[in-house]
Amino acid sequence: MASTDSTAEHSAPGRVKAIAQSRAIWPLLALALILIVAGFISPNFYEIRIVEGRLFGNLIDILYRAVPTALVALGMAVVIGTRGIDLSVGSIIAIVGAVIVWRIKMGDPHVTILFTALAAGILCGMWNGFLVAALGIQPIIATLILMVSGRGIGMLINLLYGGTDPSFESAFLQGLSTGSIWLIPTRLVLAAGIFLALWLLIRRTALGLFVESVGGNAAASNLAGVNARVIVFVAYVLCGLLSAWAGIIMTADTHTSDPVSVALYIELDAILAVVIGGGSLAGGRIYLGMTVIGALVIQALTTATLISGLPPEYNLIIKALVVLSVLFLQSANARNAIRGLVSRKPS
Amino acid sequence: MNASAGPAARVEMHAIGKSFPGVRALSGVDLTLYPGEIHALLGENGAGKSTLIKILTGALDRDAGEIRLDGEPVDFRSTGEAQTSGISTVYQEVNLIPAMSVTKNLALGPSDGAFGIISWRKARAAARQKLARLNLDIDIEQPVGTFSVAVQQLVAIAHALDDDTSVLVLDEPTASLDAQETATLFSILRDLKSRGMAIVFITHFLDQVYEISDRISVLRNGGLVGTGLASDISRQELISMMIGRELGEVEATFAHKASEEKGTEKLVARGIGRKRTLEPFDLTLHAGEVVGLAGLLGSGRTELTKLVLGAIRADSGTLEVGGKDVGRNTPRQSLESGIAFCPEDRKAEGLVGDLSIRENIMLSMQAKNGWLRRVPRKQQERLASEMIDALAIATPDAEKPVRQLSGGNQQKVVLARALASKPEILLLDEPTRGIDVGAHAEIIMLIRRLCEDGMALLVASSELDEIVAASDRVAVMRDRRKIGEIAGEDIKRDNIIRMIAGEDGGQH
């Protein structure tokens, strides 16, 4: 997992020091701490059982529920790497949900439904990419357009094709939601496959280097021969595609299309996951593995709060506090200040 | 020079020094301003003009030296303090809010009213009074953005002027003005001068320097080259002060190639140009040849290289690379046809500061390879260490973020990136800007070595010695056009300076 980070690509002698100073250590510590605290609150927190040929338990549940956010966050990580942002991911999920219901009602085969849903996400990503890369609109404004209109588009699709009741029964989608492969929930296998594919695309082609160079300095990259516009466009398309996967899973979970409230605020969780994972909104770096850790931190926190019996209202505040402390520890200024305090005492 | 003759100096800056991390911006610079004079401050990019002005106006702290205002030592901590003492500045970019009316723009800044409350009646009266000082009669309720740039410039000057302003600094005020507008501005400057104001005028238009200024100071590489009466300095001397260091230690050490020794034509530009940017020009680069690009700041050196690269889109002409017509190329296509480029501004256009040295060196080569054919990590490391050795880049390892390097080493990384893409044509814009003497000589040697290996090079530089030392042929620029070429044994400082000055039967 750690090898996905470019910081971890250091030579062997520097590795120990690199880990000690690494920003990667704090999100991992935060995740560990949350899981330990949850273990104290609920003694059987770590218990994993096999029920109906599938693994069950809190740890599995955290992974299971984190999948949609993690998928969206991975797309967001690439977009943020270009010094962009995509606020429309929740709306893309809403559109994908409506498209799935529409195709089910039209009686399409499973494969067609799947590909239509993914194509809808790609199309949304192309729209965002067109606005940002071709027209040069600021990313936050450009994606705000689809963020605002996307849920309306979803409702319109429902209105035109979903009939009065946009819910459905589909064994295929049910399988995506609750099914399992060799005891492991299907969606985890799927998500791992998507992560691997994305990692290969970013780190085993030159796409990652180009995204990071464009995010770091678009003008310099252009003059060096990198086609910055194409790179930015591709980033938004990737984000649309990954959001579509999240949309398929979320729609399968709910058996319905609910454009108004599905995946509400998921863009904020995704951005948070990227930032907890060490990404900077100033662009220029992609940390895929740490972004997944970021998504797990957010989900672990939610699950732990629920188990603790605290009213769900506390969840948001606790989340804010944990995020704040992770970011505080990651900030170079804060760490230097702490180091200054610590080293002054002995001397 | 004439300190004893005229009235007492209003401003005396003495032995001013200023360093930024890794850069010595100013050292030992003197500048004296007298009431009732227009003082032109000249120098190429990076010579230290704006640093000196910022120190005068309190925007920057100085490291060394002293400033006296009317004989009293002063130490401004902010531009506000300087302004209160009568020193006002108008910057090149008009600092007005286009959507707000003239009145509102002029009312911005320190407010007289209690609790910052503005009386619009008073503000209008004040605005009229300020504009009257400049004999400017415009509708003050109109948004500033609806007026011409010249009027906006004048409004900005009006904004800067108070009753007690005694020193006015104008940073490139005529950069975006046409001849008529410039004339208007100048008549106002003469009027202000006759009322005893000391005016500092930064420009790179030599005609205007002679038209308006009484005295001239020239900065070069952070030092003062000289100060004198405009009437005492010939245009040729002035150009020599700006770009031509007295030769001595860096005498050209090779024989300029005679024209019959030229290699094959690598790049042929015919009538390439762009309206308002650069007049169409012809240029041919041969294999194994260095073509220097000489000219003053603003003459179009950078624009020419960027037009050849395709970073500025040409609206006329054709470009042939290696005998093939490449049409309207982009930097990306140029890279593929074997052109590499090192930009003038390392930080803004050259390097990706957060990426490592290795990644920066890789970038162009990888872009040429295409995104699918990633250069394997081992090969990247080998290439980076080869380049670090070949160009003597001082760094402990290739994984260091490139922004942590010194200026000279950063410049070498930009060069390494260009070279790693295995170009046949190399365009260098100011390859030695802001680097120390040692690295300077290394880069000139490198240019010659690449040339001997058969590469075609175009080197734009504000350092005339550099041009003379490195070039087989020199293209001379003036006023956004290429005015001619000098080849072989005729490549001498004086010939180039004469051509730039237009005393060689040029079109001007």
CB contact (8 A) between residue A216 and residue B373: no
Between residues 225 and 254 of chain A, which touch chain B (CB distance below 8 Å)?
Answer: 225-227
Q: What is the DSSP letter of B422?
A: -
CA pair distance B5, B32, nearest whole angstrom: 13
Residue of B352, B365, B417, B428 to mutate when probing chain A, most A C-beta within 10 A: B352
| CB neighbour class for B376 (10 Å; exposed up to 12, middle 13-18, buried from 19) | exposed
Give me the pLDDT at residue A217, please: 92
C-alpha dihedral, B48 to B50 to B55 to B58, nearest 10°: -170
State in Å, rounded, how far the first CA of chain B is from the last one: 32
pLDDT over threshold 70, residue A159: yes
pLDDT over threshold 80, residue B441: no
Question: Would you call A206 an interface residue with chain B, using a CB distance cutoff of 8 Å?
Answer: yes
Binned at pLDDT 50, 70 and 90, residue A6 comes out as very low
Which member of A207, A210, A223 has the closest CB to residue B341?
A223
CA pair distance B234, B229, nearest whole angstrom: 10
Question: Tens of pLDDT along B293-311?
Answer: 998 877 888 899 999 999 9
Binned at pLDDT 50, 70 and 90, residue A17 comes out as low
CA pair distance B217, B202, nearest whole angstrom: 10
Q: Contacts of residue B339 in chain A, CB cutoff 8 Å?
A: none
Binned at pLDDT 50, 70 and 90, residue B115 comes out as low
Strands A180-181 and A54-57: unpaired
CA pair distance B368, B341, nearest whole angstrom: 13
Task: Check if the beta carbon of residue B321 is closer than 8 Å to that of residue B340.
Answer: no
Q: What is the DSSP letter of A31?
A: H
Task: Check if the beta carbon of residue B58 is closer than 8 Å to that of residue B77.
Answer: yes
CA pair distance A323, B25, nearest whole angstrom: 43
Instruction: Enter the tokens of residue A341.
Output: 């305090």
Q: What is the DSSP letter of B227?
A: E
Closest-CA distance of chain A to residue B47, Å: 24
Question: Tens of pLDDT along B156-169?
Answer: 888 888 777 889 99
Instruction: Enter the tokens of residue B324.
Output: 């093939």
For range B414-434, the mean pLDDT: 89
Binned at pLDDT 50, 70 and 90, residue B183 comes out as confident
Question: Would you call A223 an interface residue with chain B, using a CB distance cutoff of 8 Å?
Answer: yes
Q: Contacts of residue B335 in chain A, CB cutoff 8 Å?
A: 224-225
In single-letter form, the type of residue at position A96 comes to V
- Average pLDDT over chain A, rounded to an integer: 85
Return the number of CB contacts < 8 Å for A and B.
90
**What are the φ/ψ torsions at residue A282 (nearest 5 degrees)?**
-75, -5
- ipTM score: 0.81
Q: Contacts of residue A216 in chain B, CB cutoff 8 Å?
A: 352-355
CB contact (8 A) between residue A225 and residue B368: yes
In the CATH hierarchy, which fold is given to the domain comprising A26-36+53-328?
A: ABC transporter involved in vitamin B12 uptake, BtuC (1.10.3470)
DSSP string of A252-288, one letter each residue: HHHTB--TTTTTTTHHHHHHHHHHHTT--TT-S---H
Print burial letters for B206-224: b (CB count within 10 Å at least 16), e (below 16): bebbbebbbbbbbbbbbeb
Which member of A209, A225, A227 has the closest CB to residue B359?
A209
CA pair distance A107, A85, nearest whole angstrom: 36
* Percent of chain A topping pLDDT 90: 46
Binned at pLDDT 50, 70 and 90, residue B435 comes out as low
Question: Would you call A201 an interface residue with chain B, using a CB distance cutoff of 8 Å?
Answer: no
Closest CA to B197 of B224, B157, B236: B157
Give the residue, B90 or A18, on which the prediction is more confident: B90
CA B395 to chain CA centroid, Å, is 29
Which member of A10, A225, A226 has the closest CB to residue B399?
A10
Q: Contacts of residue A226 in chain B, CB cutoff 8 Å?
A: 332, 363, 367
In single-letter form, the type of residue at position A192 comes to A
* A3 conformational bin, left if phi > 0, alpha if psi -120 to 50, beta if neither: alpha
What domains are defined for chain B?
Answer: 11-233 (3.40.50.300), 253-338+423-508 (3.40.50.300), 354-422 (no CATH)
